[in-house]
Chains A and B, each alone.
Chain A
Amino acid sequence: MWALAHQIGIGINQSAFSAWARGLANIYFWLIPAMQITHLLGMSVLMGSAGLYGLRLARGFDQPGIAASAGASLLPWIIGAALVQSLTGVFMVLHRPTRAFDSLMFLPKLALIVLGLSLFLVLLYKLKRQTSERLSVMLRLAGASLFSCWIAIALAGRLISFIRAG
C-alpha cells in the first residue's frame, strides 16, 4: 500500500499541477508559510467547532434542547473551514507530493477527516430528531469519539513530516 502511495506521490510530482505549485512558491516566497498559517487556523476552527462540540456532547448539555441548535450554528463554520483546509492542503501536497505520500500519517489523516466530518453530520441528524429530554449514552459516546477523532487528525497532520514509510 505504501509503495503505491509512493508511486502516486511521484506521479503527482511529475504533473503540470505540481510544477505550477512549485513555480508559484518559487516566485512568492511567502506563499508556503501563508498556506501553513491558514491551514493551522482552519484546523483550529475545526477543533474548536466539530471537536469541542463532541466534547460538549460527551459531557452533556444543561439544556439538551440546545444541543441540536448549537450544532447547527457550527455547521457553516465547519463547511467554511473544511473548504479552506481542502484548498490549502491540496496546494501544499502539490508543492511537495512525496512529503505527504511517503508519510505513514497522510492517508490515515485523510480517512480520519472523512470520519470526523461524517460523524458530526450523523450526530446533528440524530440530535434534530431526538425527542427525549436527556442525551442518550450512545450520543454521548459518539460525542467523545468525535472529539478524539479531531485530536487524532491534528496529531496525524503534525506528524506527517516526521513519520515516514520505509
Chain B
Amino acid sequence: MLQGISLQEILTRLEDLPISQEITDNPIWFPVLEAMHVVSLGLVVGAVLFLDLRLMGVFARKEPMHEAAKVIGLIWLAAGLAFMSGFLMFAPAASRYLANTAFDLKMGLIFLAGLNMLVLHLGVWRRLADWNESAPPFAARLAGAVSLTLWVLIVILGRMVPFTQ
C-alpha cells in the first residue's frame, strides 16, 4: 500500500490528520502531552536506572533479582504512555521533528535500548534462576551498563530537541 508514497507524503499525511489539527489548534494539548511524556519517561528512566544498577551488580546486591524485576510491568506501561504522548506531539510537526538531529539520534538510541532489552530477555534472563540471588553474569552486567548509558543519552537528547535544528 505504501509503495510509491514518499516519506515526505507520509509526514504530510500525519500532519494533516484530524488529531494533529486538533493538537495544533487547541493550546491545552501541548502542555498536557508534554507533561505526560516527561512524567512517563521519567518513570521509565528511573525504573530502568535502578534495575540496570542491580543488573550491573553495584546496587542492592542482597535483594533477589526477581524482586527488583517486579517494576518491569510498570516500565512497559510507562513506556507505552511515553510513546503515545510522544507520537501525538510528533504528528502535528512530523517534518520539523524528523529534520531535527537530536530527535533522530534519540529515536535511534530508543531503538538500540529496545534491542538491548530484547537480547537480554532472550539470553541471560532465561537463566535467571541460576543467578537470582548471586552476582549477575557478565552478559547481564554488560546489558545493564549499555542500557544505563543509552537511557541517560536518550534523556539528554530529548531535552536538546528544542535547542537544535
Contacts and interface: CB of A to CB of B under 8 A. Distances in A.
Interface string A123-166: 00000000000000000000000000001001100110111000
B74 A49 contact: no
A154 to B, nearest CB: 5
A66 interface: yes
Contacts of A84: none
Determine the main DSSP class of B at the interface with A: helix
Interface in B46-78: 46-50, 59-60, 62-64, 66-67, 70-71, 74
Interface string B22-63: 000000000100110011011101111110000000011011
Contacts of B48: 48
A13 to B, nearest CB: 24
Given A37-B156, A44-B45, A56 B35 contact: no
A78 B41 CA distance: 19
Given A41-B155, A154-B38, A52 B71 contact: yes
Q: How large is the interface on B (under 10, 10 to 19, 20 to 34, 35 or more residues)?
A: 20 to 34
Interface string B66-96: 1100110010000000000000000000000
Contacts of B35: 155, 158-159, 162
B74 A55 contact: yes
Given A37-B155, A61-B67, A73-B60, A49 B46 contact: yes
A63 B46 contact: no
A48 B67 contact: no
A45 B155 CA distance: 12
Given A33-B159, A44-B49, A51-B46, A56 B38 contact: no
Q: How large is the interface on A (under 10, 10 to 19, 20 to 34, 35 or more residues)?
A: 20 to 34
Contact of A158 (B39, B45, B63, B163): B39
B143 interface: no
Contacts of A47: 42-43, 46
A69 B60 CA distance: 9
B42 A159 contact: no
Contact of B67 (A52, A66, A155, A163): A66
Interface of B: 31, 34-35, 38-39, 41-43, 45-50, 59-60, 62-64, 66-67, 70-71, 74, 152, 155-156, 159-160, 163
Interface of A: 33, 36-37, 40-41, 43-49, 51-52, 55-56, 59, 61-63, 66, 69-70, 73-74, 77, 151, 154-155, 158-159, 161-163
